[in-house]
Structure 1
Amino acid sequence: MNKYSIAYFGTPGFSAMFLEKLLADKEIPVKVEFVVTRHDKAVGRKQIITPSPVKQIALKNNISVIDDLKKLQVISYKLQELDFAFLFAYGGFIPDNLLHQPRYGFLNTHPSLLPKYRGASPMAYPLILGDTETGVTFIQLDEKLDQGPIISQEKVGIAPTDLRSDLENKLTELSFQLFKKQVEQIADSQKATLKFINQDNKAATYTQKFTKEDGFISFSIIEKALNNSSLNFAELPKPILRYIEKYHLTEEWKAKLTDSGKIIYDYFRGLYPWPGIWTRVTPARCAAVQQKRLKITNCSLTNNKLIIKKVQLEGKKEVDFITFNKAYKIL
């Protein structure tokens, strides 16, 4: 069977996982000619310049890498020689002049049920909003963000204890299986026979990129979650509140405000492991002005009450919460 020549666009760890699966599966009729990823970044406290996970996998498999989209002429020349380019969590904007260079253009698997959850954080939002299912959508890229015509979709359930890292694994596997199915269909019948469905832009919702500050939850709200006391809208984590207000979900969420334990636990699930959720505390043995940042690194939900299992005080190592509270008496 003839293989399609493709370029792979991706950056984070779960995209690297996809690329590994693709390279290991000899039944898929594709050959990755080169990889495009984001540039190397400083990582960790020591700010060590580190290549993206996708770049690391590409180099390990002796595949050439382009990590600078400013090299447009080089990329454009290379893309013209391809059957298609495939994008999975690239994390950057593809210039319009590149989209139609490959024979079949750019194809993309987006980890949500489009048009819902377009944008930067489609895996986090189903968790922080308490959804019970999500999925992946295979589309052809166009000039607008995540708005290309849909080729196919697959759904997957979300377990009550799934963290974002768990969902990344589920959706990466589902994305890979959908990619494999669609490429085999293209090989059998050619792209001209595939059905394209335009997205309903009126039903579209957008997700934001999270920052470290988005993980902050005041200690008073943490205390409410420990007792499953009711919240008011102003006490919701800001990304949740912005989404509710933007998409007019106030009535739907009124009944949910009584379950503060679940709200905060779901928020933890969606932001795990980064940026994570954190608060500020004044340990009993410290002066009042020495308020400290406390990250909740592990928690669970029992009878709709938040159960904190492990924490990390700034400048300290992670410890179990019972031990921490005995020493610092924050509750």
Structure 2
Amino acid sequence: MTLRLAFMGTPDFAAASLAEIAAAGHDIVRVYTQPPRRRGRGKEERKTPVHELAETLGLEVHTPDSFRDPEVLADFAGLDLDLAAVVAYGQILPKAALEAPHLGCLNLHASLLPRWRGAAPIQRAIMAGDEKTGVQIMQMAEGLDTGPILLSETVRIFPFDTAGSLHDRLMATGAQMWPRALAALERGSLEAVAQSDDGATYAKKISNDEARIDWSRQATDVANQIRGLSPFPGAWFELPTSKGRSRVKVHLAKVEEGEGAPGTALDDELLVACGDEAVRLTRLQREGKSAMEADEFLRGNALPAGTVLD
């Protein structure tokens, strides 16, 4: 038996799930994704990764501006779906949409709920210094990531993980969960476990202000901030130059011994003092340039001991 479903998702993280659901042979009658946006230096209009994959698979794609539009809701209800599979869609679904499919809407979320409900769970987990996270499929409810959990996988966060590397592991793990979850749903063997609000934390969207490195914080916190914001949006500082100040993103750093005024270079090889110890910057990116290793960065950007990073 195959399920008649709609898929809702937007980025690469969601496209991996769409590919697995399609490979499992389910009847995907429609794909919903965000409308094409103008991106890149040329500001060319680009379709989302889910949109591009859906077209490759020969699936019907809709890109409504809002799922609260009465016509969009009526059309969705008319699809007579068994369920909707949702992964990083980018829109909050109203109650009418959640209740339209016979089995409701299922959502894949990249954390171990109730920890890190919200928009940026991968980044927040690393920035907080968590040692583990996970991927869960939940029954969607009206609250923000508050529905009962149907299937869960735990994933370790390694000391060398960045948001990028953890994203890719969670993406693969989560995508592989869908065929198991849908098969169990068909058999009626998928058990829902209600969430508790105890210990709930919220992964709010990353703001531009918090991407700036505060060297007065503990070195471990600074290193976690750098890893949690790499590769995007990138933790950054400003470097004094002959023409003023230039923004530099830091993609990797490690904690080392060192003592000095926070933000001060302690040697000529990118060891920077923090509130307690220091961090060694190992991968950096100048404005308008590609990311590079520390030795390559220093060949064109000397940063002698005593330089103050803002």
Please say whether Structure 1 and Structure 2 have the same fold, judged by a TM-score greater than 0.5: yes
Return the match for 1:263 from 217, 221, 233: 221
Instruction: Kindly state the Cα deviation for residue 36 of structure 1 after the two structures are TM-superposed.
Output: 0.8
Q: Deviations over 1:95-131 (max 9, x none)?
A: 2211100110111121111111000011111111111
Partners in 1 of 2:301 and 2:76 — Cα distance? 60
Aligned to 1:108, the other structure's residue is in SS state strand
CA RMSD of aligned residues (A): 2.2
- TM-score, structure 2 normalization: 0.83
**1:279 aligned residue (222, 225, 237):** 237
Write the letter of the residue equivalent to 1:146: D
Q: How many residues align?
A: 282
Between the aligned residues of both structures, percent identity stands at: 28
- Cα gap change, 1:115/1:275 in structure 2, threshold over 3 Å: closer, same or farther? same
Query: Which whole-Å CA distance do the structure 2 matches of 1:316 and 1:322 have between them?
Result: 15
CA distance in 2 between partners of 1:315 and 1:123 (Å): 26
Distance 2:91 2:18 in 1: 17
SS at match of 1:265: helix
- Identify the match of residue 207 of structure 2 among 208, 211, 218: 211
Task: Tell me the residue number matched to 1:160.
Answer: 159
Q: What amino acid is aligned across from residue 329 of structure 1 in structure 2?
A: A
Q: Specify the alignment match of 1:229 in structure 2.
A: none
Counterparts of 1:74 and 1:166, CA distance in 2: 36
Offset of residue 63 of structure 1: 0.8
**2: CA distance, partners of 1:293 / 1:51:** 30
Q: How does 1:20-169 map to 2 (within 5 A)?
A: 20-26=19-25, 30-68=26-64, 69-70=66-67, 72-80=70-78, 81-169=80-168
Structure 1 length as normaliser, TM-score? 0.78
Distance 1:76 1:175, change over 3 A: farther
5+ residue gaps in structure 2? 258-276, 305-310
* Mapped contact 2:24–2:179 kept (Cα < 8 A): no
Query: How far did residue 318 of structure 1 move?
Result: 4.2
Matched to 2:284, the amino acid is V
The residue type equivalent to 1:110 in the other structure is H
Q: Is the 8 A contact 2:110 2:135 kept in 1?
A: yes
Measure, in 1, the Cα distance between the counterparts of 2:135 and 2:121.
10
Q: Residue 310 of structure 1 contacts residue 320 of structure 1 at CA under 8 Å; is this kept in 2?
A: yes
String of CA shifts for 1:50-73, please: whole Å, max 9, x gaps: 111111111111111111135542
Structure 1: gaps spanning 5 or more residues: 222-234, 237-256
* 1:202 aligns to 2:198 (yes or no): yes
**Per-residue deviation, residues 64-98 of structure 1 (Å, max 9, x unmatched):** 11111355424533344110001111121112211
Matched-pair contact (CA < 8 Å) for 1:281–1:330 = no
Matched, 1:329 2:283: no
Which amino acid counterpart does residue 278 of structure 1 have in structure 2? W
Structure 2 CA distance for aligned equivalents of residues 51 and 323 of structure 1 = 35
